A = this chain, B = another copy of it.
Amino acid sequence: MPRILVTGGAGYVGSHTVIELINYKFEVVAVDNMVNAIMGGKGKPESLARVEKLTGGVVDFEQVDILNENELEQVFANKGPFDCVIHFAALKAVGESCKLPLRYYRNNVIGSINLLEAMSRHNCKNIVFSSSATVYGPPQYLPIDEKHPIGSCTNPYGKTKFMIEEIMHDMCLADPEWKAIMLRYFNPVGSHPSGEIGEDPCGIPNNLMPYISQVAVGKRPCLQVYGNDYETKDGTGVRDYIHVMDLAEGHVAAVRKSLDKDFQGWTAYNLGTGQGNSVLEVVSAYEKASEKNVPYEFMPRRGGDIASSFADCSRAEKELNWKAKKSIHDMCADAWRWQSNNPNGFQIP
């Protein structure tokens, strides 16, 4: 079976993707530096320990920081050869990236260059990259397809994703043996339906759904909704939310595509539902799924926010034979199951 290296494998999208990789009988080696993950017993991240329990499979894990070239070399030397790498490892807090840009450029860009060099040395030239719709910047038209211009990112986090995409693109142009698939996520939410793993943000959540979850479970009193005067159905911002298990299946589809002998070069795919939901629609769906009250208050718009963003995902449907299947209700129900079963995330209380 194909052997896959997953960087950032203990994280939110990483751990859910490992489940799907195991379900497809792939061999998985995961690395993570554990700066945003919790170590469980036996030196394995708690998220991946639960993945093993859920799947009955095995995840070969090494605590490795991709900024450390020696550690990375050892993974390729001792755990390889790999048929493909899925590269999640990155810092991802937009606000923090504006305050500490050099930290983001070092971690995300230098980490990726280290990884690509290690792959080259070990003749593994097959990568699926965890990119983001943020590479598009403010949408020039809707829905956003993959031909939309990229690079006008409004924050350093988004720029790191753009830069890494460009580096991989140039690499594929220079060496036709390289295959690189960029997966541009819209807004990943929800969790595995078991409620055993999910998103475990440190501190105040940066994203809407984990914030709502913490209000619903009683950890925070009230949701702040920034702007109710946008030109949208109810005045609040509209985004394309995608269930993390759909996203995980998208990664498996991309890995399979990359292993296809006829596939060549660099390609990008949007992963979303193609549907836009407003903040108030998400709140309402969450209240229904959780049977909890989610109080909210309107606040002024935040600088840099846009009214609407949603994806045209027809390229992924056509070329990856992939389509998001789960509804906003599924997303909220699964997010709530995770949150209510694990009010402190992976932290052992």
CB proximity to B under 8 Å, residues A81-114: 98-102, 105-106, 109-110, 113
Complex Cα gap A28–B288 (Å): 69
Interface size class of A (residues with CB under 8 A): 20 to 34
Number of copies: 2
A residues whose Cβ falls under 8 Å from a Cβ of B = 98-102, 105-106, 109-110, 113, 116-117, 120, 151, 156, 159, 163, 166-167, 170-171, 173-174
- A173 surroundings in chain B (CB, below 8 A): 98, 101
Complex Cα gap A171–B109 (Å): 15
- A110 surroundings in chain B (CB, below 8 A): 109-110, 113
Q: In the complex where A106-B117, A113-B106 touch, is A101 in contact with B174 (Cβ < 8 A)?
A: yes
Q: In the complex where A159-B166, A170-B156 touch, is A102 in contact with B106 (Cβ < 8 A)?
A: no
Q: Are A113 and B102 in contact (CB under 8 A)?
A: yes
Known contacts A98-B173, A159-B170; 8 further A-B pairs (Cβ under 8 A): A101-B173, A101-B174, A102-B113, A102-B120, A102-B171, A105-B170, A110-B113, A163-B163
Q: Are B116 and A174 in contact (CB under 8 A)?
A: no
* Minimum Cβ distance to chain B for residue A103 (Å): 9
Complex Cα gap A106–B98 (Å): 23
Please provide the 5 A-B residue pairs with the shortest distance between their CB atoms, ordered closest to farther.
A101-B170, A156-B170, A151-B151, A105-B167, A101-B174
Complex Cα gap A113–B101 (Å): 10
Complex Cα gap A159–B166 (Å): 8
Q: In the complex where A105-B113, A109-B109, A163-B163 touch, is A99 in contact with B170 (Cβ < 8 A)?
A: no
* Minimum Cβ distance to chain B for residue A208 (Å): 25
- A170 surroundings in chain B (CB, below 8 A): 98, 101, 105, 156, 159
